[in-house]
């Protein structure tokens, strides 16, 4: 055991390409980082940004979204919708002080088990460098409930009131 | 105000809010006379003189209806919220601030020290002696206290148990009148209260459903601010004209008041029925209408929304899944 930070990552895969890629990586006995908890959806277009926010606010350090390559979507063009949501979601997260790199979109076809494995490992390393997000942890915003801050009290009592 | 002790008691309070909710109640015009005829108004700081100690002296559960507006921003807000919860049978989170934080909730994007600094020490504030308020101050007569700010603003239901939610900034007067009518009927035994937790004085759909503007397939090549399009087409969907309109995610109940007069919906009625995170729903809506498939082109179009976080969480940040920006809660 080492005490290096092990990120918790939630991964969303699409039924037709990227989940098959993950399956292929498994049946081919490819080794990749075990930090990702995969959730299968029918399509990356099913990815409601709510899922990502739930994951991040519930303790995940990063979210991996995977889907079919552009042009290969089994539902015509839903992966393009996933791409647009992803790009807007990253902007919104940035406004909340969350590194946009904590959410990553990867295209992987059913034949790309090796790509799925290497991208996953790469993402885990990227998140490891960013460190824990702590949103859902004891130090997170939910712990602030009932916590009267002393910061502003300190800040404003340090100032001298002139005579 | 009446001395008739047999009438049910009514209270209204403002915490971190602007006072618009109180004006909306007064905007019910003659309906306000029904309130006085049917209720004994025991506590309403904006309309009558009353002291906290008067409320403290009341019996628990002796106030039938309390309309509570404003979010929880300091220890005084929380103290009164707990006090009124104890004294009230029905506690309504009244208005967007109490329900989901509203505009004051956007302060959750900044650390509290920065908020105080901005209020007392920026270019719009003339403060040559750097005078800041203190939470305690000694004077010859004794020690004075002002409320201490909380790290984050929170909706009412994170501090106390809430019976009903009535969103809106402010709630529309015709909706308030309907709710007052309902409560009077309940008092007379002519109607029953809805189940606890119900969002009252609203519709069950989205603002788009009430909006009379024509809707077609939306293909947006550029987002614009409403002041940059002239003239605004009076009959066409505002989102279709390229202005980010929050209607698709926002609860109905206002009769699409803003779009009706040529302004985009800004989302004050909060998340529509079944929406868990308001901003996420809007991200989905805006992303779906972007007419581009390459990351570069999509990014160019999204550049037209200058403040994405503020745009999708204008009224809802404190009530959202993430609740606040990292800088607001992270210590050190």
ipTM of the complex: 0.93
Q: Which of A98, A149, A162 is opposite residue B326, by nearest beta carbon?
A: A98
How many CA atoms lie less than 13 Å away from A117 in the CB half-sphere?
Answer: 14
Cα B103 from chain centroid? Answer: 7
Domain architecture of chain B: domains with CATH: 9-103+154-187 (3.40.50.700), 109-150 (no CATH), 207-326 (no CATH)
Q: Collect all residues of chain B within an 8 Å Cβ-Cβ radius of residue A157.
A: 134-136
Angle between helices B295-302 and A78-95 (to 10 degrees): 50
pLDDT at B290 exceeding the cut of 70: yes
Q: What is the pLDDT of residues B54-91, one digit of tens each?
A: 999 999 999 999 999 999 999 999 999 999 999 999 99
Q: Are strands B88-94 and B164-166 parallel, antiparallel or unpaired?
A: parallel
| Chain A closest-CA separation from residue B17 CA (Å) | 19
* A22 has a pLDDT exceeding 60: yes
A147 touching B, CB under 8 A?
Answer: yes
Angle, helices A113-130/A18-27, rounded to nearest 10 degrees: 100
Q: What DSSP letter does each residue of B108-136 carry, written as one string?
A: GGS-HHHHHHHHHHSTTS--TT-----SE
What pLDDT score was predicted for residue B122? Answer: 79
B293-319 pLDDT per residue, tens: 999 999 999 999 999 999 999 999 999
CA B83 – CA A120 distance, rounded (Å)? 52
Number of Cβ within 10 Å of residue B72's Cβ equals 29
**Per-residue model confidence (pLDDT) at position A154:** 38
**What does the pLDDT read at residue B113?**
84
Are the C-beta atoms of B196 and B242 separated by less than 8 Å? no
Cα distance from A74 to chain B (closest Cα, Å)?
16
Query: Which residue in B77, B280, B314, B324 has the most chain A C-beta atoms within 10 A of its own C-beta, making it the best mutation to test that interface?
Result: B280
Asked if A144 lies within 8 A of B329 by C-beta distance, the reply is yes
Q: What is the mean pLDDT of chain A?
A: 86
Share of chain B above pLDDT 90, in %: 81
**Would you call B46 exposed, middle or buried from its count of C-beta atoms within 10 A (0-12, 13-18, 19+)?**
middle
Q: Does A50 touch chain B (CB under 8 A)?
A: yes
> Which member of A87, A135, A157 has the closest CB to residue B134?
A157
Which CATH number does the domain A9-142 belong to among 3.40.50, 3.40.190, 3.90.120, 1.10.3470?
Answer: 3.40.50
Q: pLDDT per residue over B148-202, tens digit each?
A: 888 889 999 999 999 999 999 999 999 999 999 999 999 999 999 999 999 999 9
* pTM assigned to the model: 0.92
What pLDDT is attached to residue B151? 85
Integer Cα distance of B317 and B267 in angstroms: 12
Report the pLDDT value the prediction gives residue B307, as an integer from 0 to 100. Answer: 96
Which chain B residue shows the shortest CA-CA distance from A153?
A: B135
Mean pLDDT on B115-122: 84
Tokens of A12: 């969303």
């Amino acid at each position: 055991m080492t005490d290096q930070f092990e990120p918790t990552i939630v991964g969303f895969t699409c039924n037709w390409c990227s989940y098959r890629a993950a399956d292929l990586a498994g049946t081919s006995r490819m080794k990749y980082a075990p930090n990702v908890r995969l959730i299968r959806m029918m399509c990356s277009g099913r990815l409601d940004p709510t899922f990502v926010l739930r994951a991040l606010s519930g303790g995940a350090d990063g979210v991996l979204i995977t889907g079919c390559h552009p042009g290969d979507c089994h539902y015509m063009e839903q992966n393009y919708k996933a791409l647009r949501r992803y790009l807007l979601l990253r902007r919104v997260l940035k406004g909340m002080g969350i590194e946009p790199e904590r959410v990553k979109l990867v295209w992987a076809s059913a034949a790309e088990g090796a790509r799925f494995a290497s991208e996953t490992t790469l993402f885990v390393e990227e998140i490891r460098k960013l460190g824990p997000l702590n949103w859902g942890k004891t130090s997170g915003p939910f712990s602030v409930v009932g916590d009267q801050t002393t910061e502003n009290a300190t800040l404003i009592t340090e100032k001298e009131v002139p005579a | 105000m009446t001395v008739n002790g047999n009438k049910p008691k009514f209270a209204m309070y403002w915490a971190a809010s602007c006072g618009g909710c109180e004006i909306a109640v007064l905007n019910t015009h003659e309906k306000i006379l029904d309130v006085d005829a049917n209720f004994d108004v025991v506590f309403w700081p904006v309309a009558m003189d009353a002291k906290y100690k008067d409320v403290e002296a009341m019996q628990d559960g002796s106030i039938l209806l309390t309309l509570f507006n404003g979010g929880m921003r300091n220890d005084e807000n929380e103290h009164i919220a707990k006090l009124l919860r104890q004294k009230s049978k029905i506690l309504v989170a009244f208005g967007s601030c109490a329900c989901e934080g509203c505009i004051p909730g956007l302060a959750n994007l900044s650390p509290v020290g920065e908020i105080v600094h901005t209020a007392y020490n920026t270019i719009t504030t003339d403060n040559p002696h750097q005078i800041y308020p203190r939470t305690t101050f000694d004077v010859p007569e004794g020690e004075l206290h002002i409320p201490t700010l909380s790290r984050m603003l929170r909706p009412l239901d994170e501090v106390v148990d809430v019976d009903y939610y009535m969103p809106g900034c402010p709630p529309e007067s015709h909706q308030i009148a309907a709710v007052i009518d309902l409560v009077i009927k309940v008092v007379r035994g002519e109607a029953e209260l809805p189940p606890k937790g119900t969002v009252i004085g609203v519709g069950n759909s989205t603002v788009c459903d009430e909006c009379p503007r024509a809707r077609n397939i939306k293909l947006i090549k550029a987002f614009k601010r409403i002041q940059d399009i002239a003239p605004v087409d009076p009959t066409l969907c505002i989102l279709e004209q390229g202005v980010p309109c929050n209607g698709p995610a926002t609860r109905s109940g206002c009769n699409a008041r803003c779009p009706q007069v040529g302004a985009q919906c800004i989302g004050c009625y909060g998340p529509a029925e079944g929406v868990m995170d308001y901003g996420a729903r809007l991200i989905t809506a805006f992303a779906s209408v972007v007419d581009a498939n390459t990351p570069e082109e999509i990014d160019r179009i999204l550049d037209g929304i200058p403040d994405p976080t503020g745009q999708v969480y204008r009224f809802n940040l404190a009530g959202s899944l993430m609740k606040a920006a990292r800088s607001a809660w992270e210590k050190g």
